[in-house]
Amino acid sequence: MKSVYLDNAATTAILPEVVNTMTEVLTNTFGNPSSTHNYGRNAKAIVEQARKTIAKQLNVSSSEIIFTSGGTEADNLILQSAVKDLGVKTIITTKIEHHAVLNTIIYLSKHYDVEIVYLDLDESGQINYNQLGEFLKSKDNVLVSLMHVNNEIGNILDIKKVANLCQENKALFHSDTVQSIGHYNLDLQDIKVDFAAVSAHKFHGPKGVGFAFIRKNSGLHPIIFGGEQERGQRAGTEALHNIAGLETAFKIAYQNLETDKTYITNLKSYCLKQLKKEIPSVKFNGLSDTLENSAYTIINMRLPEISKDATMIQFHLDLKGIACSRGSACQSGSTKNSHVLEAILAKEALKKASLRVSFSKFNTKEDVDYLVNVLKELF
């Protein structure tokens, strides 16, 4: 049976070069980075070199990169400390953020004196930047939390515009960049975001590691207490092999960025063309059928018939060897609608089955043809 993996927004295949790096570190560099002897110094050098590699690419100071267990921990560190330690009283966000953000701010609103303001969204899932500007003018002690690339519908936020609005109104800006860093060039000196969250397994690195960008002198405090690792921002012995693997994946992602982006963009364009040709009544959620306003890695399609259930379609695709999803991976196994689609679609549209397919450089036109042919059998 043919095997086609089209769920790269959930996770990506780890690169052989990354596995080799991690194996070498696990085998030869087992010292604790906090130890002062030679073994510890060698381990510490790997951590600091990875930090420098990331900082140089993002055009920030290496002291502003804090290694975490992934994007979820980075989001929690930033959001929880912003409320507890920086005196944030209002969080402005949307209802289509990742659950790492949404569930954290719901928790904070229940346990601290903090107001959550949700921006209005149009039928494509876009925010109203004028509305954001008005809220910023009318509120004090504000943190804006908006993801750069939506993990379900692929919409791209004008992150620089939001950063400028926040700076003009003396508000803090946090962005979940899990779907964008490793896929887009971001100069964080030019884009004045205060905080960002990143996860390695979205760009062919290992699971269980990522980092938070925390702008210098922000005043954030740790949420995990213990030793003084990660400049006192994140206690616990560093996962040395994971950090080394992250660095290797990060370097390869940016060395090959333009080549990979062109290849995957062409693949997405071909998929859109074939879907529209073979299933003419297919619709697309968010801006995912546009190449200029959505991630080049993501298509979120709404299939024609109300009678067909998305879970059963996904099951049928799985039987044919095709891996895709109904929404984000954190919702797998859930029978609920995607919270993203619920926030932007009318009731009739929600009754129709929606699927997300997401690409990597390892996908081919043959993969697309196979997907479209299997879907055509169903519709």
Sequence-separated (6 or more) residues with CB below 8 Å from residue 19: 245
Tens of pLDDT, residues 142-162? 999 999 999 999 999 999 999
Please say if the pLDDT value at position 377 is more than 80.
Answer: yes
What pLDDT score was predicted for residue 328? 57
Q: Which of 38-42, 122-126, 309-313 has the lowest mean pLDDT?
A: 309-313
Residues 337-341, mean pLDDT to the nearest whole number: 92
Closest CA to 123 of 358, 295, 296, 284: 284
Tens of pLDDT, residues 281-292? 999 999 999 999
- Residue 133: band (very low, low, confident or very high) from pLDDT cuts 50, 70, 90: very high
The CATH architecture assigned to 16-255 reads 3-Layer(aba) Sandwich (3.40)
Domain boundaries, the chain: 4-12+256-378, 16-255
Phi-psi region of 219 (alpha: psi -120 to 50; beta: other; left: phi over 0): left
- 226: which 2 tokens? 């213990």
Q: Alpha-carbon distance 64 to 166, whole Å?
A: 20
Share of the chain above pLDDT 70, in %: 97
Residues 167-171, mean pLDDT to the nearest whole number: 97
CA distances in angstroms from 136 to 104, 163, 193, listed in the order given: 21, 12, 15
- Residue 334: band (very low, low, confident or very high) from pLDDT cuts 50, 70, 90: low
- Residue 305: band (very low, low, confident or very high) from pLDDT cuts 50, 70, 90: confident
Please say if the pLDDT value at position 333 is more than 60.
Answer: no
Please say if the pLDDT value at position 331 is more than 70.
Answer: no
The CATH architecture assigned to 4-12+256-378 reads Alpha-Beta Complex (3.90)
- Do 339 and 95 contact (CB within 8 A), yes or no? yes
Please say if the pLDDT value at position 206 is more than 60.
Answer: yes
Which of 166, 271, 324, 330 is the catalytic position? 330
Please say if the pLDDT value at position 41 is more than 80.
Answer: yes
- 273: which 2 tokens? 């063309």
Strand-strand pairing, 115-118 and 142-145? unpaired
- What is the value of pTM for the model shown? 0.95
Q: Is 330 a catalytic residue?
A: yes
